[in-house]
């Protein structure tokens, strides 16, 4: 059985004291269940403090982006070496907001995914279609291309360890969730693409999350779907109580 992975993506929210308060409220309340992984992907300035505060707890800490180079003249960027050195374990790569506002491409996603594995970080790779693409029936083809290009050149064991987040862009922060059946159909397609790229065994191991207006009220139904193994959650991950409820849902 694949474990459930519930990851909060705080995006550009909170100040340090709020981030620390969240950790203080959540760390000792998470379910003691190996079948669910709880991750919070926070802005860079909060990472050292969150890593410190979550030590020995079930809450893992992730970054929301990184550069693919180890070091160099890249003003304003953060490298995988820096994240690893801090004790960060996960990193979101290729979120649609980075693709839209910061010129992230499948090629940079691929370089970052390789860099993550080279430094012992687990990538959470985001894919998903726009409303226009969905209406033009391009959802399956678009997500397939994003997976093939984003994961190109990985060893099979690395593909197995990759977390894929399917996030239809039109469902992010809009309150519109894909129906659980529609979300599952795309996640199943993504698993099939992984199977074509690797093997049936590897495809069965890959964790595929759904993201887009997930909240405590709708997560149960999403997680009952055959190919949805967790959630990447923005807005509803910001409050400790709501995040905790989302993680609890992963235990059922
Ligand atoms: O990374 C998270 C997604 O962009 C979803 O955000 P949301 O839960 O606020 O819709």
* This prediction's pTM: 0.97
Mutate which of 10, 42, 211 for ligand 1? The one with the most ligand atoms within 8 Å of its CB, which is: 211
Please give the number of the atom of ligand 1 that sits closest to the Cα of 97.
4
CA dihedral (146, 60, 200, 168) in degrees, to 10, reads -30
* pLDDT for 240: 98
Q: Which residues line ligand 1 (CB under 6 A)?
A: 9, 95, 167, 172-173, 211-214, 232-236
For the chain, give the mean pLDDT: 97
Q: Contact 58/84 with Cβ under 8 angstroms?
A: no
Q: How many residues does the chain have?
A: 252
- Is the pLDDT score of 171 beyond 80? yes
CA dihedral 104, 110, 111, 114 (to 10 degrees): 140
> Residues of the chain with pLDDT > 70: what percent?
100
Q: Is 11 within any annotated ligand binding site?
A: yes
Q: What is the pLDDT of residue 53?
A: 98
pLDDT at 166 over 90: yes
Give per-residue pLDDT as tens, 122-138: 999 999 999 999 999 99
Exposed e or buried b per residue across 47-64, where buried means at least 16 C-beta atoms within 10 angstroms of its C-beta: bebbbebbeeebbbbbbb
Q: What is the pLDDT of residue 252?
A: 66
- Kindly state the tokens that stand for 233: 């959650």
């Amino acid at each position: 059985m694949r474990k459930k992975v519930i990851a909060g993506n705080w995006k550009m929210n909170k100040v340090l004291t709020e981030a620390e308060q969240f950790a203080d409220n959540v760390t000792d309340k998470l379910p003691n269940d190996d079948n669910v992984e709880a991750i919070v992907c926070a802005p860079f300035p909060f990472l050292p403090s969150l890593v410190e505060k979550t030590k020995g707890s079930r809450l893992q800490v992730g970054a929301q982006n990184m550069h693919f180079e180890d070091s160099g003249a890249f003003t304003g960027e953060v490298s995988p070496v820096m994240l690893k050195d801090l004790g960060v374990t996960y990193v979101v790569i290729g979120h649609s907001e980075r693709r839209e506002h910061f010129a992230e491409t499948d090629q940079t996603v691929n370089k970052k995914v390789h860099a993550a594995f080279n430094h012992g970080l687990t990538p959470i790779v985001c894919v998903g279609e726009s409303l226009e693409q969905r209406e033009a029936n391009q959802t399956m083809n678009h997500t397939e291309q994003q997976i093939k290009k984003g994961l190109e050149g990985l060893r099979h064991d690395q593909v197995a360890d990759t977390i894929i987040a399917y996030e239809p862009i039109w469902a992010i922060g809009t309150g519109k969730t894909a129906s659980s059946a529609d979300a599952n159909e795309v996640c199943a397609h993504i698993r099939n693409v992984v199977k074509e790229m690797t093997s049936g065994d590897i495809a069965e191991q890959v964790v595929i999350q759904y993201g887009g207006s997930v909240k405590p009220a709708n997560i149960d139904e999403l997680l009952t779907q055959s190919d949805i193994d967790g959630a990447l959650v923005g807005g509803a991950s910001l409050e400790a109580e709501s995040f905790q409820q989302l993680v609890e849902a992963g235990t059922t």
